[in-house]
Amino acid sequence: MKEKTNFLNELNEQQKAAVLNIEGPSLVVAGAGSGKTKVLTSKLSYLVDQKKAWPNQILCVTFTNKAAKEMRDRVIRMLGSKLNSMPWLGTFHSISVRFLRRHAEAIGLKSNFTILDTEDQKKLIKNICKGENIDAKKLSPQFIISMIDKWKNRGLLPEEVKLNNKDIFDNQILKVYKIYQNKVRDLNSCDFGDLILYCVKLFEKNMDIRNIYSNNFKYILVDEYQDTNFIQNKWLNLIVNKNNNICCVGDDDQSIYSWRGAEIKNFLGFDKVYPNCKIFRLEQNYRSTKNILDIASHLIGHNKDRLGKKLWSEGERGDLVKLNCYKNGKEEARGVSNILEEYSKNNNSLNEAAILVRAIYQTREFEERFLKVGINYRIIGGIKFYERAEVKDAICYLRIINQKFDDLAFERIVNTPRRGIGDTTIKQLHEFASKNKVCLEDASRQLLQNNKFKPKIKIIFSNFLDLINKWRSDLKKNKHYDLLKIVLDESGYSAMLKNKKDIENENRLENLKELLRAMNDYDNLQGFLEHVALATSIDQEWNDEKVNIMTMHAAKGLEFNSIFLPGWEEGLFPHQKSLEEKGDLALEEERRLAYVGVTRAKKSAYISFATQRVWHGEWMDSLPSRFINELPDKGIEKNEELIKDVSDDFDFNQDRLLENNDEFRSPGWARLKKKLTK
């Protein structure tokens, strides 16, 4: 063996052992901040440098193009001129395309097949639904696509799907799936789900083709293995060579994507698929202080389904993790902003601070507080609250109720949700309004009175304008936030979102609920609309120094000096809907999400909860998250003064029913009550 190259000298003993083990299957259990990517790139570099394999004999699979590029760049830096190319380094999808281009005819395609994007899929599904008389309001194209993807991720073509129930919707979706798949093939196309599925079918039915690759790839390296789904794992198993030289790297404690199809059992059951595998644990953390690691390790230790590891660091103990209790969400946002202002005054970069929320609607209170006090911020992986489409739609309804001359608002909502008003009618409205110097609402009323609309359009406008009149009348006898509930229901907007069963629409509904909570802070509609106008008009491009706001899911793989984790309350975190759908499995994933959140912090972490939140326009008591009860006393600094302000007898470890209060409700109350009565 040649003298070990310099890059091996940069590895700790655990990392080096994982890199130098090149024979047979291995699983690298890499804790947060333990140098997972470093191990993977070092292993790849070592195999090439020591001529264990030529670059084209190594298959290296990542989940994102960004990760693939980062890995390629690192290997080039390590090997320099020794590396010409890495032809088989890429994502599951990009590598699958290469396989299929070469062997398209074996699966009934031509090698120049096209890959459909999401918009192409939607158009095709819409046309099929129209032809089959399927009501798009009850079965949205997006939901149908998600179900088809789910089946494909399970390795199922239409003829292989077995329905265990007589659910009319499932049967309709399966019917669409059959037609859709035939049409896609007729177009000589694939969607993203097909790319991996067809590869699996190709290898299963053509042993000669499968052997070409299993014999060629001497080594297979896999990044983020905990995020693989059923079909991706099967894809890997089919092309592993007879020596089972496969090395998978990941962290079971960071498996947080089950809602995208990821199956943690792939990771936990690796040693059962490969009985002679070696397991390496990377436990030395290079990111966080000892206190942060102790908190994270203690918290995740409550999970049962895990391989187990203990993170440690040679670094300093660092600041205690702060646990803060606030009276309500507004006070929580104020408390965080106060800490950030002090943080900035001490010459710390706002770019190195992040607020990680469980649900995207939680950003609203922080955004409003930051706008008020002049703290720059950016939303990572999402859109600012008042710029979200559903929020803008709702506000435009309120704007046109407030005053009829708001043509921009009128034009936005006149066909939202869709009422059958097309571009031709809108053009007609604009021309009439311009010619007669009236607003669009008055134009529509005059055209209606003059019988200038086609019969169908006439009925639509008549109903719509009647609703506007009714809502203006409702405003006089209802609170402005109650009015919005009425508008969303009677306009059909709520039904539009509720009928489309997908995660995006669930988030949109949550954002609208948050909008209602925001309206509760203002005495009247005029005041609220003024607030929104000012909030959305503020120029936030003051400089590049901005606090980062994102969901905990979006934060995976990132790191910051200071992390804020608000909203640790039952029902919100762990999320009530997740618990109701998947029970203990969901609880463990929610706890892994908490672990991911805490381990993003390098120097300081702030966990907080509120004792009250506004729900449906009323103040409700909140229960601290069970995850707070699971935090160790050592390494935690509790804000005792705030606790006293809230209640003399309030306890961080509160886990009991409130006596003589049958009317008490909270997001997690039903679950907690059920638990306590077992």
CA atoms of 565 and 366, how far apart (whole Å) = 12
Instruction: Examine the residue annotation and report whether 544 is marked as an active-site residue of this protein.
Output: no
424 among known catalytic residues: no
Question: Distances in Å between the alpha carbon of 151 and those of 60, 147, 229, 239, 436?
Answer: 26, 6, 12, 22, 56
Per the residue annotation, which of 16, 36, 508, 626 is the catalytic one? 36
**Pick from 189, 194, 199, 195: which is nearest to 123 by CA?**
189
> What is the C-alpha radius of gyration for the chain, rounded to an integer number of angstroms?
28
Residue 170: count other Cβ atoms within 10 Å of its Cβ. Answer: 14
Residue 521 annotated in active site = no
- Catalytic one among 600, 603, 626, 671? 600
Q: Which helix (H) or strand (E) holds 565?
A: strand 560-565
SS3 at position 161: coil
Q: How far apart are CA 36 and CA 289, in angstroms?
A: 18
Give dist(CA 181, CA 380) in Å, integer: 35
- Residue 535: φ, ψ to 5°: -65, -40
Looking at 49, 191, 224, 367, which residue is catalytic? 224
The alpha carbon of residue 200 and the mean position of all alpha carbons in its chain are separated, in whole angstroms, by 27
Cβ(346)–Cβ(542) below 8 Å: no
Rounded distance between C-alpha atoms, residue 488 and residue 397, angstroms? 9
| Start-end of H helices in 103-191 | 118-131, 141-153, 168-186
254 counts as catalytic: yes
5, 37, 57, 284: the catalytic one is: 37
Task: For residue 600, indicate whether it is catalytic.
Answer: yes
37 is catalytic: yes
β-strand partners of 605: 563
For the CA atoms of 150, 152, 157, 163, what is the dihedral angle to 10 degrees?
Answer: -20
Q: How far apart are CA 32 and CA 254, in angstroms?
A: 8
Sign of CA dihedral 305, 309, 312, 317: positive
Give the HSE-up count for residue 248: Cα atoms under 13 Å, Cβ half-sphere: 27
Q: Which residue among the candidates 15, 91, 142, 254 is catalytic per the annotation? A: 254
322: nearest Cα among 652, 655, 656, 551: 652
- Residues forming a β-bridge with 248: 27, 222
In whole angstroms, how far apart are CA 233 and each of 196, 255, 262?
10, 15, 10
What Cα–Cα distance (Å) separates residue 44 from each residue in 39, 133, 135? 9, 54, 52
Q: Residue 222 class from Cβ within 10 Å (0-12 exposed, 13-18 middle, 19+ buried)?
A: buried
Residues catalogued as catalytic: 36-37, 223-224, 254, 600
